[in-house]
Amino acid sequence: MKKAVNIILAGAIVVMMMAAIVTARVKKPSAARAAAATVTVKVSSFQFTPKVVTVAVGSTVEWVNSGGRHTVEADDGSFKSDTLADGAKFSHTFAKAGKYPYHCSFHGDKGGKDMAGTVIVK
């Protein structure tokens, strides 16, 4: 009888542990959702700082101009700001993974020439 009770208790413990593991997995947020955020890029002195940013899918990049007239334009045309005056901001949310090179249409060019940067979305 004592042996049967021990087997039943051991079985109950295993079931409870399995339920706890399944519950923990269900409640855990996905890595991409947890990592999505807003990242700021400074636009000044004819450069983007940082020049390269890496973000999660669903994240927003916000460019903040702190001097002169600039634009933010994707090399592939997927996003483009108006001309940014001093203090102006432009933001874009990245819904798909990929590499998004961009430039200032006044002071840079496609392919990373002069005033240019890259957003890497993973």
Is pLDDT above 60 for 91? Answer: yes
Among candidate residues 107, 122, 102, 97, the one with its CA nearest the CA of residue 41:
102
Q: Confirm whether pTM is higher than 0.75.
A: no
Is pLDDT above 50 for 50? Answer: yes
Place of tokens 């590499």: 99
Q: Which two tokens stand for residue 1?
A: 């009888």
Upper half-sphere CA count for residue 122 (Cβ side, 13 Å) = 6
| Contact present, 34 and 59 (Cβ < 8 Å) | no
The sign of the CA dihedral 8, 12, 18, 19 is positive
**Which of 7 and 97 is assigned the larger pLDDT?**
97
Mean pLDDT for 67-85 is 97
| Confidence band, pLDDT 50/70/90 cuts, at residue 45 | confident
